[in-house]
Amino acid sequence: MFNLELNKVIEEIKKQKPKQVLIQLPDGLKQKANIIVDTIEEKTSAKTFILFGSCYGACDPPYGLDVIKIDLMIQWGHNRFHKETW
């Protein structure tokens, strides 16, 4: 029902050439995580992992992903947002 745009995702991965990718999905799409990982790993050489927990919005990528050397995080269901300045 919702377009996962896997072609666009694959294209982006091929362009950016990350070694390690993390995918972040809203709860309603978490059941598709295996399909997304399988597709990315079949079509690119990026190792792909799934964020286990929350995906509240574009404001919600977790901190510290560089420690485990994630090069690219892909989040579904949201678009770029503008953080308020204080």
Partner 1 sequence: MVRLFFVETLYEKEIYLTDKLKKYLKENKPKTIALFAAIQFIKLEKLKKEIENLDIIIKTTKAKRTGVEMQILGCDNYHDSFKEPIIEDCDMILYVGDGLFHPKALLLSQIKNKKIKSVVLFDPISNEIKELTKKDIENQIKKTKANIRKFLNSDKIGILVTIKPGQQYFEAAKTLKEKIEKQNKKSYIFIDNTLDLRNLENYPFIECWVNTACPRIGTDDITTINQPMINMREAFDPIKALEDLEN
CB of 34 to partner 1, least distance (A): 17
Backbone angles phi and psi of 44, in degrees to 5:
-135, 175
Q: DSSP 3-state assignment of 23?
A: strand
Cβ neighbourhood burial of 55 (10 Å; 0-12, 13-18, 19+): buried
Within positions 5 to 64, which residues make up the interface with partner 1, using CB under 8 A?
A: 5, 8-9, 12, 16, 18, 22, 29, 53-54, 56-64
Q: Which is nearer to partner 1, 42 or 80 (CB)?
A: 80
Residues binding partner 1 (CB under 8 A): 1-5, 8-9, 12, 16, 18, 22, 29, 53-54, 56-66, 70-84, 86
